[in-house]
């Protein structure tokens, strides 16, 4: 898959009343500062498409970007940023859950985990809640440039073992780096294969 066109479409705080053309959506979620917006910029080859920041809590809305005029990437706010007020945190969690529960066009939710850190309870709880709600997801390990090759391979095995305790078969798990571009092709190929399968299913109907 090559992304030849990527454009900002809209920012919203709820799915209600959102009047966008219904195209398939691939959304990016994960703890605040895990690298969601940076990865979107890496995948699209546009460093200024999604707003990024070294300060957690940058993305505060549901942002839609249209890709190749045919599907959306959705940048979601992060969850679990401790420094936000409880009220603000609950508001963002409500926004995220509203999107996940009501977006009929969501095809895959990419859940981003920092490749340097062990799976935290907040991530595991979130993944379990996706399983309970039947939301299809794939896991992307981010910032893999911060680990050496061996350390990254070890992390990958550990995450697979941890996730494997809850999911059989394992969801797709890919390592990425927005800084080096590592994993970019694998993520785009995965998106392409999902879109192709959906097209084939549509054509059979």
User: Interface residues with ligand GTP (CB under 6 A)?
Assistant: 32-38, 52-54, 56-59, 77-78, 142-143, 145-146, 177-179
Closer residue to ligand GTP, CB minimum distance, 103 or 177: 177
How do strand 62-67 and strand 71-75 relate by DSSP bridges? antiparallel
Q: How far is the CB of 200 from Mg ion (least distance, A)?
A: 33
Among 33, 41, 44, 59, binds Mg ion (CB under 5 A): 59
142 interacts with Mg ion by CB under 5 A: no
Residue 179 binding result from ligand GTP, Mg ion, none, given CB thresholds of 5 to 8 Å by partner type? ligand GTP
Question: What's the token pair of residue 81?
Answer: 């940023």
Closer residue to Mg ion, CB minimum distance, 67 or 75: 75
Q: How far is the CB of 59 from Mg ion (least distance, A)?
A: 3
Residues in touch with Mg ion (CB under 5 A): 36-37, 58-59
């Amino acid at each position: 898959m090559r992304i030849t066109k990527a454009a900002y479409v809209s920012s919203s705080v709820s799915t209600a009343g959102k009047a966008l053309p219904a195209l398939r959506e691939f959304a990016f979620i994960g703890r605040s500062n895990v690298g969601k917006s940076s990865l979107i910029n890496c995948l699209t080859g546009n460093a200024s498409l999604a707003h990024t920041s070294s300060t957690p809590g940058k993305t505060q809305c549901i942002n839609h970007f249209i890709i190749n005029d045919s599907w959306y990437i959705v940048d979601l706010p992060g969850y679990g940023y401790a420094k936000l007020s409880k009220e603000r945190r609950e508001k963002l969690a409500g926004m995220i859950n509203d999107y996940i529960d009501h977006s009929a066009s969501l095809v895959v939710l990419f859940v981003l985990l920092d490749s340097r850190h062990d799976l935290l309870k907040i991530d595991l709880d979130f993944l379990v809640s996706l399983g309970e709600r039947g939301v299809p997801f794939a896991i992307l390990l981010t910032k893999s440039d911060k680990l050496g090759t061996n350390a990254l391979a070890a992390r990958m095995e550990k995450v697979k073992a941890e996730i494997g305790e809850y999911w059989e078969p394992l969801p797709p798990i890919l390592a990425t780096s927005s800084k080096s571009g590592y994993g970019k092709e694998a993520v785009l190929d995965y998106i392409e294969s999902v879109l192709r399968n959906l097209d084939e299913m549509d054509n059979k109907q």
